[in-house]
């Protein structure tokens, strides 16, 4: 089996070398070719092709990762390779098939057994090109005390996602501190089965150490130092994580105040364009809450980063506008104490509206 795996690796590296050669001959850098691909996908000129990132292309060319056929077909035509990229791809596929024949029976049985045991799904034929990609990937791997049921879970998750595919979505959930935006984002993420990216979860440990290094309190969230030097980095990290999820075909719910951002037309335009380039629809949700409810919630959660706000409540609320609304089309969620419906009910309603394009 080792010899077959080495043959696959050599063929994979050769495909990468051919791809890099024709990309260079066409005068494109890796970023340039990826930009061409994303524009082609966005304009409908590359149907079915995944909008790979620069890092994916680098992995293809280094032989660390195998591209799929649709990408190779697009690259061959775009780079005017005269079929050379496709020939290298076919050679790699032949090497994979040889390896696959030796290992596929056990792997396929594992996937089938998992489906029957856990999901009561009858054995089904391969239904998409990605099935073979998944099987080939596991055929070239070894299990050394690891979970040999992973292949079945990946296949089942892929089929489930394909059946429920409504396109990629980015949902920006904003609101003041204590408004309940994070609670609503959790409900929304659970209802839609989309990844939730919370700014504080992603950045807080680094932010606190950065504030200390800059000579400030690690819980500072109100000084000019935080607002001008640290806060922009938090949002950049959050948005970069969101774009990486989209590049992987994963919809996201973004959980942060977004107060400045939702007032900034240029920022919203950039985000809209970045989403469109990845074939994703952008939606904005604003969580409305009264001042008294926000105070009660902040007091209840007892987070150290809220100490300044609670100790200087009148000064803090003088800096915010409780009647603020985003300067873009948005869904409005009412989380005041006397709200007519619960957050869960509102999350379910908004998910249904988004899926129907309302």
* Domain co-membership, 301 together with 349: yes
* Domain co-membership, 190 together with 293: yes
Whether 277 contacts 38, CB under 8 Å: yes
| CB-based contacts of 120, cutoff 8 Å, min separation 6 | none
pLDDT the model gives residue 22: 95
* Domain co-membership, 193 together with 342: yes
How many of the other CB atoms lie within 10 Å of CB of 338?
Answer: 7
* Domain co-membership, 192 together with 52: no
DSSP for 129-157, written as a single string: HHHHHHHHHHHT---SSS-TTHHHHHHHH
**Strands 331-334, 252-255: parallel, antiparallel or unpaired by DSSP?**
unpaired
* Domain co-membership, 89 together with 176: no
Strand partners, 231: none
> Which CATH number fits the domain that encloses residue 177?
3.40.50.300
pLDDT the model gives residue 75: 95
Return d(Cα 345, Cα 321) in angstroms, integer: 26
Instruction: From residue 343, give the alpha-carbon distance in Å to each of 4, 322, 347.
Output: 55, 19, 6
pLDDT the model gives residue 191: 78
How many of the other CB atoms lie within 10 Å of CB of 315?
Answer: 11
What stretches of 26-149 show up as alpha helix (H) in DSSP? 30-42, 54-62, 69-78, 84-114, 129-139
In 3D, which of 96, 107, 110, 112 has the Cα closest to residue 138? Answer: 107
Return d(Cα 310, Cα 134) in angstroms, integer: 52
Return d(Cα 147, Cα 145) in angstroms, integer: 7
pLDDT the model gives residue 224: 94
Q: State the distance between the two ends of the chain, measured CA to CA, in whole angstroms.
A: 54
Return d(Cα 12, Cα 88) in angstroms, integer: 8
Whether 120 contacts 107, CB under 8 Å: no
pLDDT the model gives residue 231: 95
pLDDT the model gives residue 282: 92
pLDDT the model gives residue 107: 39
For the chain, what is the domain count?
A: 2
* Domain co-membership, 205 together with 333: yes
Q: Is 144 inside a domain boundary?
A: no
Give helix 30-42 / helix 54-62 axis angle, nearest 10°. Answer: 120
Question: Residue 25 has which token pair?
Answer: 């001959």
pLDDT the model gives residue 154: 64
Return d(Cα 61, Cα 70) in angstroms, integer: 16
Question: From first to last of its 358 residues, what are the pLDDT tens digits of the chain?
Answer: 456 667 888 888 999 999 999 999 999 999 999 999 989 988 888 888 888 888 888 888 988 888 889 999 999 999 999 999 999 999 988 887 776 565 444 434 443 343 333 333 333 334 455 555 555 555 544 444 444 455 566 666 666 665 555 678 999 999 999 888 988 888 888 878 899 999 999 999 999 999 999 999 999 988 999 999 999 999 999 999 999 999 989 999 999 999 999 999 999 999 999 999 999 999 898 998 888 888 888 887 788 888 989 999 999 999 889 889 998 888 888 877 655 556 666 667 777 777 666 5
Chosen domain end from 91, 117, 138:
138
The three-state DSSP-derived secondary structure of 251-292 is: CEEEECCCCCHHHCHHHHHHHHHHHHHCCEEEEEEEEECCHH
* Domain co-membership, 239 together with 343: yes
pLDDT the model gives residue 119: 38
> What Rg do the C-alpha atoms of the chain give, in angstroms?
25
Question: Residue 191 has which token pair?
Answer: 């209802």
Question: Residue 140 has which token pair?
Answer: 């070239």
* Domain co-membership, 194 together with 313: yes
Q: Which domain holds residue 90?
A: 2-103+128-138
Q: Is 147 inside a domain boundary?
A: no
């Amino acid at each position: 089996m080792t010899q077959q795996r080495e043959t696959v690796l050599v063929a994979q590296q050769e495909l990468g070398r051919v791809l890099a050669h024709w990309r260079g001959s066409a005068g494109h850098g890796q970023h340039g070719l990826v930009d061409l691909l994303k524009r082609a996908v966005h304009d409908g000129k590359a149907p079915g092709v995944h909008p790979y990132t620069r890092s994916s292309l680098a992995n293809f060319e280094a032989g660390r990762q195998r591209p799929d056929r649709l990408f190779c077909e697009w690259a061959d035509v775009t780079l005017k390779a005269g079929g050379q990229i496709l020939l290298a791809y076919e050679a790699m596929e032949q090497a994979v098939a040889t390896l696959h024949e030796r290992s596929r029976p056990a792997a396929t049985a594992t996937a089938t057994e998992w489906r029957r045991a856990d999901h009561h799904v009858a054995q089904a034929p391969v239904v998409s090109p990605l099935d073979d990609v998944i099987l080939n990937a596991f055929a070239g791997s070894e299990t050394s005390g690891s979970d040999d049921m992973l292949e079945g879970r990946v296949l089942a998750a892929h089929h489930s996602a394909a059946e429920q595919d409504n396109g990629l979505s980015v949902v920006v959930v904003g609101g003041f501190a204590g408004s309940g935006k994070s609670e609503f984002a959790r409900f929304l993420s659970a209802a839609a089965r989309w990844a939730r990216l919370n700014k504080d979860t992603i950045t807080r440990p680094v932010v606190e150490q950065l504030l200390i290094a800059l000579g400030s309190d690690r819980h500072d969230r109100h000084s000019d130092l935080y607002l001008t030097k640290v806060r922009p980095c938090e949002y950049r990290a959050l948005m970069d994580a969101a774009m990486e999820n989209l590049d992987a075909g994963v919809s996201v719910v973004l959980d942060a105040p977004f107060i400045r951002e939702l007032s900034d037309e240029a920022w919203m335009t950039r985000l809209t364009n970045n989403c469109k380039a990845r074939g994703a629809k952008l939606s904005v949700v604003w969580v409305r809450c009264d001042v008294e409810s926000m105070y009660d919630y902040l007091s209840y959660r007892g987070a150290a980063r809220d100490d300044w706000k609670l100790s200087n409540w009148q000064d803090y609320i003088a800096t915010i506008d409780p009647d603020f609304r985003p300067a873009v089309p948005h869904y409005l969620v009412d989380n005041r104490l006397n709200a007519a419906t619960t957050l869960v009910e509102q999350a379910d309603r908004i998910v249904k509206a988004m899926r129907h394009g309302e």
